[in-house]
Amino acid sequence: MVDKVRRYTPRPRQAAQEAIEAYIIRNQMKGNDKFPPERTMCQMWGLNRSTLRSTLARMVSDGRVHAVQGSGTCFTPRVDRVLQDLKSFTQYAADLGMKPETRLLGLSMVECDKQLARRFQRVLGERLYRVIRLRMLDGTPLMIETAYIPAALTPGLEERDLVGGSLFAVMEENYHLIMHHGYERISITTTTPEEADYLGTAAGVPAFWIVSEVYGDDGSLIEYCRTIGRCDRMQMSSTLYWIGGGDEG
Amino acid sequence: MKDKLTDRSPLHTQLREVIRAKIDEGEYPPGTCIPSESQLSEAYGLNRLSVRSALAALEYEGLLHSVQGKGVFVTAPKLERDMETLGGFRQTMRERSQRPGTRVLIKALRQAGPLYAQILGCAPEEDIWYVRRICQANGKPIALEEIFIPTDVVPGFEEVDINLFSIFEVYRWNGIYPVRGEQRLAITHLDPAEARLIGLREENAVLEFSGATYDREGRAIEFSRSYTHSDRCEFLVHFQR
């Protein structure tokens, strides 16, 4: 039953990508830091020009790097959305030293349809605020958030400042609604022409599709939110800890 | 409770305790195959029926696991704690409730190279283990996974059949307990040949889930990366204030 030990040699393009990723880490690239000229990269890593080019092209389409006319290849910074903390957009923008900006794309009152009524455990026709906001960092559009909040919980929400900070801050300060726990589901969608317009991408490109629910301390759903996010400008990250992993064995 | 053995004990019971001792003492390490029924019957001069009954008892206890056409394998002691229980937040793939399976495409040694040398803290020319496999739920491919492991983390890895055992089990056998994992979720595209492996056309985007896992000493024990078919699977994150 002994497997024969095989040897694996990465394919040229894979080796090229590994070399580039290693370079990014080693040089702690950020902002729009420049890569060395193609010729230098080829020499440095023993790659042929066409392998390097096809690898870079692939990384461009994934939004890892971008080409700048006249100055070669640059690193594309991504916003890291840390999943497990409930930090608001405003707060993590501040942590990143970036300037957050929010545009209100729509604010309306909608009635619970069957799906929403079931989700909120409310009656058909009960009113919900629907707040659609575009979030930007340093002028780059990142995501569109469509949030639903029961109108009964937040009367007069339309009077509040919905672009200055987080909705949760508004809900906590004005309505004493405390977010207690929640979840997010993350998958992929493609942008519609309208969404692409706001996000500044081509229509039909893949994007993050995030559905979240946040519950108050009485266990009731206080916000349901659907987010579409640019995958070339953001990624999600988290650190997890295994309970008890340290004291076994 | 083990029965007190004497030379008057039934032979199948004696054989059972012989095998148990060899498992305990590490002569038959977890993940490996023990000698076949006929080898055991020849070695101890017992009839096949006695051998079978000894093995059946150990299988019933969960120490052995027989696989049709492959042999009888030593399993690892059952874990008391749920390895997937995480402090602070939990993250699961929705298909966990379904029947998981893997199909190993590559299990080989490769040079760490510049990237994995940095991540795993070894020299670029050092060898590391490279595993490439398809993860399935109810027999349907849902993700293509790559795992990079420093060789000293899993001595004897070449002998372990990772179609049968999870790599986390292998770490446990080696006394290694992951305590911290860094995870990153991004969207990317696969090469056409890779995309086909998980039932995707090339133009479909996939969720790329990657990260390093660390043990108590802060040593990187693996780096893994999986490409997930997003129609078949999504990521779920719980958070708590």
Question: Is residue B66 included in any domain, yes or no?
Answer: yes
Average pLDDT across chain B, whole number? 80
Residues of A whose CB is below 8 A from B159: 1-3
Averaged pLDDT for residues B207-224 = 89
How is residue B126 annotated by DSSP? S
User: What average pLDDT does this structure show over A27-45?
Assistant: 92
Q: Are residues B53 and B103 in the same domain?
A: no
Domain that holds residue B40: 11-74
Interface membership of A24 toward B (CB under 8 Å): no
Largest CA distance in chain A: 72
Q: Does A246 touch chain B (CB under 8 A)?
A: yes
CB distance A21 to B115 below 8 Å: yes
CA A203 to chain centre: 18
Helices assigned H by DSSP within A31-188: 38-45, 49-61, 89-96, 114-120, 167-175
**Contact call for A239 and B181, based on CB within 8 A:** yes
A12-75 CATH fold: Arc Repressor Mutant, subunit A (1.10.10)
A139-167 tens-digit pLDDT: 899 999 999 999 999 999 999 999 987 88
Q: Which residues pair with A211 in a beta bridge?
A: A185, A226
What is the architecture, at CATH level 2, of domain A79-235? 3-Layer(aba) Sandwich (3.40)
- In A168-197, the residues whose Cβ lies within 8 Å of chain B are 178-188
Give the 3-state secondary structure of B34-83: CCCHHHHHHHHCCCHHHHHHHHHHHHHHCCEEEECCCEEEECCCCCCCCC
Q: Which of residues 50-79 of A touch B (CB under 8 A)?
A: 58, 61-62, 78
Evaluate whether residue B241 is within a structural domain: no
Neighbouring C-alpha atoms within 13 Å toward the C-beta of A228:
23
pLDDT in tens, B41-83: 998 899 998 899 889 888 877 778 888 888 888 876 543 323 3
Angle subtended at Cα A209 by Cα A207 and Cα A213, rounded to the nearest 5 degrees: 160
Q: B1 lies in a domain?
A: no
CATH number at residue B147: 3.40.1410.10
The three-state secondary structure class of A147 is strand
- Higher confidence at residue A81 or residue A208? A208
Length of chain A measured in residues: 249
| Mean pLDDT score, A96-103 | 86
B104 plus B173 within the same structural domain: yes
Question: Does residue B90 surpass a pLDDT of 50?
Answer: no
Instruction: Judge: A183–B239 Cβ closer than 8 Å, yes or no.
Output: yes
Q: State percent of chain B over pLDDT 70.
A: 82
Q: Is the pLDDT of residue B106 over 80?
A: yes
Q: For chain B, what is the domain count? A: 2
Q: Give the start-to-end residue ranges of the domains of chain A.
A: 12-75, 79-235
Instruction: For chain B, give the longest Cα–Cα distance.
Output: 70
pLDDT in the model for residue A189:
86
Indicate if B36 and B94 belong to the same structural domain: no
Q: Quote the crossing angle between the two packed helices A12-26 and A38-45, to the nearest 10°.
A: 110
Phi first, then psi, for residue A155 (nearest 5°) are -60, 135
Averaged confidence pLDDT in chain A? 87
- The verdict on B48 and B85 lying in the same domain is no
Q: What pTM was estimated for this model as a whole?
A: 0.75
Facing A246 at nearest CB: one of B33, B177, B184: B177
Q: What is the per-residue pLDDT for B238?
A: 65
Structure tokens given for B142 = 């849902």
- A39 CB contacts (<8 Å, ≥6 apart)? A49
Say if residue B152 is in the same domain as residue B209. Answer: yes
- A248 pLDDT band, cuts 50/70/90, is very low
Query: Which residues of chain A neighbour B207 with C-beta distances below 8 Å?
Result: 186-188
**Domain membership flag for residue B43:** yes
Q: At what angle do helices B48-61 and B37-44 cross, to 10 degrees?
A: 120
What's residue B6's pLDDT?
Answer: 72
Q: What is the distance in angstroms between the CA of the first residue and the CA of the last residue of chain B?
A: 46
Which residues are CB-contacts of B21 (< 8 A; sequence separation ≥ 6)? none
Q: What is the CATH number of the domain that holds B18?
A: 1.10.10.10
Same domain, B35 and B143: no
The reply to whether B36 falls in a domain is yes
With an 8 Å Cβ cutoff, is A6 touching chain B?
A: yes
Among A1, A187, A243, beta carbon nearest to B230: A187
Q: Which two tokens stand for residue A241?
A: 């800890």
Poorest-confidence range of B41-45, B97-101, B162-166?
B97-101
Q: What is the pLDDT of residue A243?
A: 54
Same domain, B127 and B215: yes
pLDDT computed for residue B82 by the predictor: 30
Q: Closest-CA residue in chain A for B70?
A: A1
- Hey, what are B198's tokens? 């998980």
Residue with tokens 């040699």: A9
Query: Are B130 and B193 found together in one domain?
Result: yes
B155 and B66 part of one domain: no
A28–chain B Cβ distance below 8 A for any pair: no
Distance of alpha carbon A151 from alpha carbon A129, whole angstroms: 6
pLDDT at residue A7 tops 80? yes
Q: Do B130 and B101 belong to one domain?
A: yes
Chain B residues with beta carbon closer than 8 angstroms to that of A26: 114, 118
B127 pLDDT more than 60? yes
Same domain, B172 and B153: yes
Q: What is the pLDDT of residue B240?
A: 66
**B68, part of any domain:** yes
Mean pLDDT of B96-103: 64
- Flag if B118 and A86 touch (Cβ within 8 Å): no
Residue where a domain terminates, one of B48, B74, B100: B74
Whether residues B114 and B30 fall in one domain: no
Encoded tokens for A233: 């400008």
Position B172 in a domain = yes
Joined tokens for residue B109: 């040694």
